[in-house]
Amino acid sequence: MPLTSELITLDKAAIVAFASQFDPQPYHLDKEAAEQSIFGGLCASGWHIAALATRLVSETLIKNGLPFVELLSVGHLKWTRPTFVDEQISVRITLTDTQDESPIADTYVQALNVDVCNGDGDVVATMSATAAIAQDSATGETA
Amino acid sequence: MTTLYLRDRWFEDLPAGEFHVFGSHTFSELEIVEFAETFDPRPQSTNPEAARHNHRQGLIASPWFVTAMWMRKMVDYMEVYAQGVNDGRRNGAGVAITDLQWLEPVRPGHTLTYTYEIIDKPDRVIREKWGLIRSRNEAFNQYGNKVMQFEIDILAERRPT
């Protein structure tokens, strides 16, 4: 059974705030320019989606008793559909392999597949990744 | 013979093997914390005090901050040196990435230099007018250690026939 996260809404202010700092291209900043672009409308940077998806993955794993420590690698990440202003995203996580040997002490490596979906359930991105998970919950959350 | 300027090129003009250094960025403690608070609120990136005692023994940048800065460096660089012409050839979106690895932590004061190399031009035509440019991208810290790598496919507009 995949684990499912909460939804996050991406409003225009959030999309433009991320893009002006990290991905200042017209289709992420300006409504009119975006309508003329390959996307056909103002949409979030793919890196914004990736960061928020990871946030949702970490929150969802922790909530399900897997003390997420750090994202280690992404085998593939494919953006399949733009995320437009005021659309929502959530993640569906399928856990795959585990590996005892981890670059971070007291953790193991969990492989996972992630579908990032919009509010209608359409997949907007897919990602395969590995994350370090604390072997006991004491080392996961130190803050 | 026509001179091809970096700023005025189509998909066909971009050769495999081309290499660029996009530039460098020094990561401050404040921006590491601000990025993490908004996008990736892990304690090792949001709380310098608590991070001293955690698995990394000090504050580290969110991995996506390290990668998002690659995007910013690329956009700035392309604006000045490469595609840059406002006729549609710029703004070819990224389609997919593979083999993204964060190899070493990035800490406050670390300076990363981002590099880009075209490694392949897959033989595909997308929505009639785009080709795919596959690049290998790396970031090196001030010690010369590689801290991040990935490959990405980005659309580039084909020369109109």
Contact A38 B72 (CB under 8 A): no
Contact A55 B40 (CB under 8 A): yes
Could you tell me which CATH number the domain at B11-27+61-157 has?
3.10.129.10
Assigned token pair, A117: 């979906």
**Mean pLDDT of the region B9-17:** 89
Q: Three-state DSSP class for B90? A: coil
Of A41-50, A64-73, B37-46, B97-106, the one with minimum mean pLDDT is: B37-46
Q: Which CATH architecture has domain A3-139?
A: Roll (3.10)
**Mean pLDDT of the region A3-15:** 96
Sort out which chain B residues have CB atoms less than 8 A from A78's CB and list them: 95-97
pLDDT value, residue A22: 96
Contact A72 B102 (CB under 8 A): yes
- Candidates B100, B106, B134: best to mutate against A (most CBs of A within 10 A) is B100
Q: Which tens digit of pLDDT belongs to each residue from B26-69? A: 999 999 999 999 988 999 999 999 888 888 889 999 999 999 99
Q: Are strands B111-120 and A123-134 parallel, antiparallel or unpaired?
A: unpaired
pLDDT at B84 over 90: no
Contact B64 A46 (CB under 8 A): no
Residue spans of the domains in chain B: they are 11-27+61-157
Q: Which tens digit of pLDDT belongs to each residue from A76-115? A: 999 999 999 999 999 999 999 999 999 999 999 999 999 9
pLDDT at B13 over 70: yes
pLDDT value, residue B91: 62
pLDDT at B83 over 90: no
Give the C-alpha separation, B39 to B62, whole Å: 9
Residue spans of the domains in chain A: they are 3-139
